[in-house]
Structure 1
Amino acid sequence: QAGLQSKHPRHIYANPLAPEICPILSLGIFWMSYGLNSDISMRLFTGRHQYDRHVYSKVLKRVVQSQAGNVRLLGGKPDEIGAHSSRKGAASWVSSGSSACPSSTAVSLRAGWVQPGVEDTYKRFEAAGDQYLGRCCAGETSITHQHIEDFNLNRV
Structure 2
Amino acid sequence: MLAANSPASAVALRAVYLVRHAEKDGDALSATGRKQADKLADLLKNSGVTSIYTSQFERTRQTAAPVKAALEAAGSHVQILSLDLPTTLLEHPEDASLLASYGRSAVQTLQEKSPDEIVLIVGHDVTIPAILLALGYASPVRIDPTEFDRLFQLIPRAAGSSPGFWELTHYA
- TM-score of the superposition, structure 2-length normalised? 0.25
- TM-score of the superposition, structure 1-length normalised? 0.27
Between Structure 1 and Structure 2, the one with more strand by share is 2
Q: Which structure exhibits the higher relative contact order, with contacts defined as CA atoms closer than 8 Å and separated by 6 or more residues?
A: 2
Between Structure 1 and Structure 2, the one with more helix by share is 1
Larger Rg: 1
